[in-house]
Amino acid sequence: MKFILNTGRSITQGRHVEHKFHRGYSEETSTCFIHPLDLLDLDMEEGEHVEVTSECGSVVLRTVNCEDLRRGMIFVPMGPFANHIIPSHTHSTGMPDFKSIPVELEYTDAERSTQWDLMEKIGGQRYEKM
Amino acid sequence: MKKCDVICPFCGCLCDDLEITVEDNRILGVDNGCTLANAKFMGKERLTSPIRRTDGGWEDINYDEAIRYTVDMLLDADRPLLYGWSGTHGEAQCIGVHMCELVGGIIDSTTSVCHGPSILAIQEVGHPGCTLGQVKNRADVVIYWGCNPLEAHPRHMSRYTTYADGYFLDNAFRDRTVVVVDVRETETARVADEFVRIKQGGDYAVLSALRAIVRGKGDMIPPSVAGVPRSQLERIVRMCKDAKFGAVFFGLGLTMTKGKYKNIRNAIELVDELSRHTKFTITPMRGHWNVYGSNEVFTWMTGYPYAIDFCRGIAFYNPGETSAIDILARKECDACMIIGSDPGAHFPRKCVEHLADIPTVVIDPVPTMTTAMANVQIPVAVSGIDAEGTAYRMDGVPFRVKKVIEPTLPSDTEVLGDMFARMKEAKGL
């Protein structure tokens, strides 16, 4: 099913800004908030995983019901998971479209990556001495 | 020992009434702070020594090696990018501009991924702003557009709007009307007097409709604009025109969405229209602590607020071309120094991938997602906790930020000052 991806601050994400190696940061930023009726249309239950695919890649997220959203929109707290699928073009303004990315959602039984897994996939090196 | 009137180094509110309990040079408690401030002050996971990436791991190195690596990296690069700057104080930003000019690089702050479009709009039509004190004491109508202060600036509403006393308002809580315009019904929307829910990407149309109604052309407006009934738009315009003092605050819901800086231009022009009837102001909700300061420092040193390119020997500014996202996405820079921000977490993947391909140095007190992409990370004291300097609040008011504990690590100013001195020496200056 097609959705619009919206990203932004959440209080839990904000609390972990300087503690990004914590599990809480990974948990929060890999959450896909979705309207309960949309979840029903996907034939899924809250807590199950979705593969979210945009024009530039896909990422696995955990679903959480959220009636704050209109149907057809998902919200993912800003972080490495959302940015894994956000295109970099800025329409000559310097600013990517962080709040309106067309995406496709599909049920998956795959596990979520951790924040460090994502970084390693693109050439990074995890730091886990803390 | 309790330290009073401490300024919070997290968001653009720069709340200046925190009380920090300190014993034996350790922070034991934070009073008056929001959950974000608590997490910032109480954080204990700082790096204690510079680190360097090895094959499959990390090793500790000393400051001399780390600084030498950074200096050599910047001097050897053809097109270095110096990015971040919002988490540090103005004095360090000053040195950053000098360093960038010396190596003919590009300097950009997190502005380009927050309120860069707001600055583009302000350059087109000006900025009818005011200080937060004016809003607190006078505003009887407050509009939050595309922002969620309860989660992003948790004390904004209690210090300046909804729950704040106002000198010129008899009963501020009752007399003040708060309107929230958003695509999501956030916590902030739920505590507002009026919630306007618009369809994603409909901001420009709704702002234009409001301007038309203010101008007396409401009969041109269709029954619904981007999901908002005309009757609600008319009610809001009446509310605004009847206000003695109105304040609009806007967030990334306007700057990051379709239309970008044209949305902000339209919002400023709505404020302009309303100011023909009453007094209205508009203020961007700056998110990252001293991001406003980076714009001030860059502007008075180079003439431009962000995304400044020195490759021609003079300052050149063209967001969309010289902004960090575009430079990284085009794989244009061949070295990167990042200070006081985390593009590893907040930039699109394609940009972060390039950081892994080029020499990258991170100057930051804690491990971040960008650490993973770095060759070297240099830990520093935290501005507002164990380092002091100047920072600007979201309304452009500068504050002298003091330290609450004695530093055990050098400050940004000391590290950058050392780098700059070595760079000048290498260049024979």
Domain boundaries, chain B: 47-114+289-426, 116-284
Single pTM value for the model: 0.96
C-alpha distance from B175 to closest chain A C-alpha (Å): 27
Residue window 23-82, chain A: list those with CB within 8 Å of chain B: 29, 56-57, 67-70, 73, 75, 78-80
Q: Which helix (H) or strand (E) holds B5?
A: strand B2-6
CB-based contact, A100 to chain B, within 8 Å = yes
pLDDT at A130 over 70: no
The correct CATH number of B116-284 out of 3.10.20.30, 3.40.228.10, 3.30.365.10, 3.40.50.300 is 3.40.228.10
pLDDT at A129 over 80: no
Check residue A52 and report its DSSP letter. Answer: E
- For residues A5 and A103, what is the distance between their CA atoms, to the nearest angstrom? 6
Chain mean pLDDT for chain B: 97
- For residues A38 and A29, what is the distance between their CA atoms, to the nearest angstrom? 20
ipTM of the complex as predicted: 0.97
Mean pLDDT calculated for residue range B124-146: 97
Judged by CB atoms closer than 8 Å, whether chains meet at A116 and B43 is answered as no
Q: Give me the residue spans of the domains in chain A.
A: 2-121
Supply the pLDDT for residue B56: 87
Q: Do A130 and B379 form a contact (C-beta atoms < 8 A)?
A: no
Which residues on B lie below 8 Å from A115 (Cβ)? 345, 369
Which residues on B lie below 8 Å from A100 (Cβ)? 200-201, 257-258
Q: How far is CA A29 from the centre of its chain?
A: 6
Q: How far is CA A17 from the centre of its chain?
A: 16
Give the residue from chain A lying closest to B11, CA to CA: A14
Length of chain A: 130
CB-based contact, A17 to chain B, within 8 Å = yes
Judged by CB atoms closer than 8 Å, whether chains meet at A95 and B116 is answered as yes
Q: Which of A12, A86, A90 to mutate to test the interface with B (most CBs of B within 10 A)?
A: A90
Mean pLDDT calculated for residue range A65-73: 96
Residue with tokens 């019901």: A65
**Which tens digits make up the pLDDT trace of B248-306?**
999 999 999 999 999 999 999 999 999 999 999 999 999 999 999 999 999 999 999 99
pLDDT at B334 over 70: yes
Q: Is B173 exposed, middle or buried (0-12, 13-18, 19+ CB in 10 A)?
A: exposed
- For residues B15 and B9, what is the distance between their CA atoms, to the nearest angstrom? 8
Which residues on A lie below 8 Å from B329 (Cβ)? 88-90
**Among A88, A99, A122, beta carbon nearest to B325:** A88
Judged by CB atoms closer than 8 Å, whether chains meet at A88 and B328 is answered as yes
Beta-carbon-side half-sphere exposure of residue B72 (alpha carbons within 13 Å): 9
Mean pLDDT calculated for residue range A30-58: 97
Which residues on A lie below 8 Å from B366 (Cβ)? 18-20
Give the contacts of A23 (CB within 8 A, at least 6 positions apart). none
The correct CATH number of A2-121 out of 3.30.70.1530, 2.40.40.20, 3.40.50.1820, 2.60.120.260 is 2.40.40.20
CB-based contact, A102 to chain B, within 8 Å = no
How many residue pairs bridge chain A and chain B with CB atoms within 8 Å of each other?
190
C-alpha distance from B324 to closest chain A C-alpha (Å): 7
The correct CATH number of B47-114+289-426 out of 3.40.50.150, 3.40.50.740, 3.40.50.720, 3.20.20.60 is 3.40.50.740
Q: Do A58 and A51 form a contact (C-beta atoms < 8 A)?
A: yes
Q: Which helix (H) or strand (E) holds A12?
A: helix A11-15
**Among B35, B57, B326, beta carbon nearest to A90:** B326
Q: What residue type is assigned to position B353 of the chain?
A: E
Listed as own residue / partner, the contacts of B117-120 with beta carbons closer than 8 Å and 24 or more positions apart are B117/A93, B117/A94, B117/A95, B117/B254, B117/B255, B117/B256, B117/B260, B117/B261, B117/B263, B117/B264, B118/B250, B118/B254, B118/B255, B118/B261, B118/B264, B118/B284, B119/B295, B119/B305, B119/B306, B120/A93, B120/B260, B120/B261, B120/B264, B120/B319
